[in-house]
Each structure stands twice: as structure tokens, then as C-alpha cells.
Amino acid sequence: MLAIAAAVVFGIAFLLDLLNASIGIGLTALLALGLCLLSLHQAGVGTAGVNSWRGGWRGGRVRR
């Protein structure tokens, strides 16, 4: 989920840079926010709770 949010932030920053537009926050701040979201995703912050109730990385029963 955090990776998707980072992609959206990077997309907005890219469009603002192409259009030379401003929304009140600097382009550098948007890039820093995107990098922060990506680093949280890589650290596993947004995924720990989801996998624990599914039973691990397989997501369900073990088929034999």
C-alpha cells in the first residue's frame, strides 16, 4: 500500500514539474515524501499486520 502511495506522489511531482505548476508545496518536498514512503515500504511497515492473520507468506492452508 505504501508503494502505491509513493507512486502516486511521484506521479504528481512529475506532472507538476512538466507543467511548471505549483500547489503550495515544493517539488523537493514531494520527492522526499515519496522516498520516505518507499523506505517505509521496504522496511515492511505497511505489511506486517496483513500477513500475520493470513498465516504467513502463503496466505492460507498448505495444500498436499
Over residues 1-60, the pLDDT tens digits come to: 889 999 999 999 999 999 998 888 889 999 999 999 999 999 988 775 555 555 555 556
* 22 inside domain: yes
* 59 inside domain: no
d(CA 45, CA 37): 10
Name the domain count of the chain: 1
* 63 inside domain: no
Q: What pLDDT is attached to residue 19?
A: 92
Range of the domain at 27: 2-45
Residue 63 grid cell: 495444500
Q: Side chain identity at 57, as an amino acid letter? A: W
Residue 15 grid cell: 506532472
